[in-house]
Amino acid sequence: MADKILKELTLKIWRQKDAKSKGEFKTYKVHNISTGTSFLEMLDILNEQLVEQNEEPVAFDHDCREGICGTCSLFVDGRAHGPDDDVTTCQLHMRRFEDGATITIEPWRCGAFPVIKDLIVDRKAYDKILQAGGYVSVSTGGVPDANAIPIANDKAEEAMDAAACIGCGACAATCKNSSAMLFVAAKVSQLALLPQGKIEAARRAKAMVAKMDELGFGNCTNTGACEMECPKSISIAHIARLNREFLKAKLKD
């Protein structure tokens, strides 16, 4: 399909100087945007325009622009990462928008992710949860032959599915309670399914859930919104495993 030109787009963008300042939406116009342009490239074009006009460019987070790192975390027209399913914002292209459209762009809305500036939020809360127990500290030896790994194929595949989580924060930002359960469940689940993760399983589940609660994330009410907006389609079935791991650890206590 040949690229088309969107003659004019109206962008309503959240602008906020810092975490302590009051933010507001500001409106901008961009012209002659190719439908083959990525969403972040469109923001780059806007920023070039703002710099030429001696205005402050819009601050937004990005890194790999390949859907791997999850830093390109934006709410676009009320949806985490935008109107496409199973993609991050950097993989969203302007072909998803009509000529003359008004696009609303916001940062993550979650108490545990305070706004740093404009569209950038502080997601260190996820790092702190991982530091609480999302790792294996035991020595697992060298790399074994692929055919000698004592893990059932279905378990290995499920662990890999959980490990696909990129920690972008869309689950917590989408959840009406700002719950981080899908993120925590994915990190616990990927290790709970593997022999290497069994030794610290009880301590891991308790520590990560406790840290999640300490940081102010809400409770899960199983609406499924997190799974719907997850760019890696992490299943809420992992939340059930997290609950089992947590209850087993508490019963051992």
Same domain, 20 and 46: yes
Same domain, 15 and 39: yes
Domain boundary among 75, 94, 114: 114
Same domain, 89 and 170: no
Q: Confirm if 61 and 72 have CB atoms less than 8 A apart.
A: yes
178-196 burial, b for 16+ CB within 10 Å, e for fewer?
Answer: bbbbbbbbbbbbbbbbbee
How many folded domains does the chain comprise?
Answer: 2
Domain boundary among 114, 134, 152: 114
Please state, for a pLDDT cut of 70, what percent of the chain lies above it. 96
Same domain, 127 and 52: no
Instruction: For residue 147, give its domain range.
Output: 123-249
Please give the average per-residue pLDDT across 67-94, as a whole number.
96
Assign 143 a pLDDT band (cuts: 50, 70, 90). Answer: low
Same domain, 40 and 57: yes
Same domain, 205 and 89: no
The one-letter amino acid code at 203 reads R
Using only C-alpha atoms, what is the Rg of the chain?
Answer: 21
Is the overall model pTM greater than 0.85, yes or no? yes
d(CA 50, CA 235): 41
Residue-wise pLDDT for 210-220, tens only, equals: 999 999 999 99
Longest dimension (CA), the chain: 64
Greater pLDDT, 126 or 152? 126
Query: What does the chain come to in residues?
Result: 253
Residue-wise pLDDT for 164-188, tens only, equals: 999 999 999 999 999 999 999 999 9
Please state, for a pLDDT cut of 90, what percent of the chain lies above it. 86
- 102: which 2 tokens? 């008004």
Same domain, 87 and 165: no
Residue 102: give its domain's CATH number. 3.10.20.30
Same domain, 109 and 167: no
pLDDT of residue 213: 96
**Three-state secondary structure along the chain?**
CCCCEEEEEEEEEEECCCCCCCCEEEEEEEEEEECCCEHHHHHHHHHHHHHHCCCCCCCCCCCCCCCCCCCCCCEECCEECCCCCCCCHHHCEHHHCCCCCEEEEECCCCCCCCEEECCEECCHHHHHHHHHHCCCCCCCCCCCCHHHCCCCHHHHHHHHHHHCCCCCCHHHHHCCCCECHHHHHHHHHHHHCCHHHCCCHHHHHHHHHHHHHHCCCECCCCCCHHHHHCCCCCCCHHHHHHHHHHHHHHHHC
Please give the average per-residue pLDDT across 20-47, as a whole number.
97
Cβ-based neighbours of 71, under 8 Å, separated by 6 or more: 61, 62, 63, 64, 168
Same domain, 91 and 159: no
Per-residue CA distances from 52 to 6, 28, 57, 62, 164 (Å): 21, 14, 10, 22, 40
User: In whole numbers, what is the pLDDT of the chain averaged over residues?
Assistant: 94
d(CA 246, CA 94): 43
